[in-house]
A and B are shown apart, each in its own frame.
Chain A
Amino acid sequence: GDSVTQMEGPVTLSEEAFLTINCTYTATGYPSLFWYVQYPGEGLQLLLKATKADDKGSNKGFEATYRKETTSFHLEKGSVQVSDSAVYFCALRYNTNAGKSTFGDGTTLTVKP
């Protein structure tokens, strides 16, 4: 079956540091890939998405590129802020089955001033 593997956390960075959160997936077909962010006490918010190989999703300074050859969708940001502290989830979903997403375990990011 399909699965998503994220780098283990937690990740602690200083403000303005470079962020990478690794995500790899196993899929039987050609899914769309997503990054979601969850702030304490909140639900999930879509951060960015990519729907096909080589697509780059970007939002709020975060980027991720859909790499079919390495089955990866790593999240990056050049300069993190304290407000980026949250839990980040990588997920995949098929357009033909849009109601079901498969999530990674989440990576907790803490940014210190």
Chain B
Amino acid sequence: KAGVTQTPRYLIKTRGQQVTLSCSPISGHRSVSWYQQTPGQGLQFLFEYFSETQRNKGNFPGRFSGRQFSNSRSEMNVSTLELGDSALYLCASSDPGQANTEAFFGQGTRLTVV
């Protein structure tokens, strides 16, 4: 079974630009969650999508958005990039239909804003 795939692995963007990151979950997993990891703030929850609907949302500004497609693949978008958005963005997939389900993480996308 293929794991969670995130693309691209690395990105360099300029302040003010926008960026789109992609996450392909494990086959059969309908829940995709996104996290931002920075040295100062640690791992912070961005949002979760389940069956194409946003089910949970963290405390991030509206510049951060996401969506999920019918095949469960998810994208997150950050508009008007700021230097502070430089981070490792991780996505995790899970199968909520399983009791005590665990989340499987991708390798992340390293975003650098210059």
Contact across chains for A101 and B107 when beta carbons are under 8 A apart:
no
**Is A99 part of the binding interface, using a Cβ–Cβ cutoff of 8 Å?**
yes
| B44 nearest in chain A by CB position | A103
**Is A44 part of the binding interface, using a Cβ–Cβ cutoff of 8 Å?**
yes
A32 to B107, CA, bound (A): 23
Which residues of B sit under 8 angstroms from A93, Cβ to Cβ? 103
Stretch at the interface among B12-20, B78-86, B92-100: B92-100
Instruction: Count B interface residues, CB 8 Å.
Output: 28
Contact across chains for A43 and B106 when beta carbons are under 8 A apart:
yes
Category for how many chain A residues contact B: 20 to 34
Contact across chains for B107 and A97 when beta carbons are under 8 A apart:
no
Determine how close the nearest CB of chain A comes to the CB of B26; give it in whole angstroms.
13
Q: Which residues of chain A from 81 to 113 have a CB within 8 Å of any chain B CB?
A: 89, 93, 95, 97-106
**Is A42 part of the binding interface, using a Cβ–Cβ cutoff of 8 Å?**
yes
Q: What are 18 A-to-B residue pairs whose CB atoms are below 8 Å?
A: A42-B107, A43-B6, A43-B108, A44-B92, A46-B103, A49-B100, A51-B100, A95-B101, A98-B96, A98-B101, A99-B31, A99-B33, A99-B94, A100-B45, A101-B35, A101-B103, A102-B45, A103-B43
Residues of B within 8 A of A (CB): 4, 6, 31-33, 35, 42-43, 45, 48, 50, 55-56, 58, 90, 92, 94, 96, 99-108
Residues of A within 8 A of B (CB): 32, 34, 36, 41-46, 49, 51, 89, 93, 95, 97-106
Q: A45-B105, A100-B58 are in contact. List 12 more A-B contacts (CB 8 A).
A: A42-B107, A43-B107, A43-B108, A49-B102, A98-B31, A98-B101, A99-B33, A99-B48, A99-B50, A102-B45, A103-B35, A106-B43
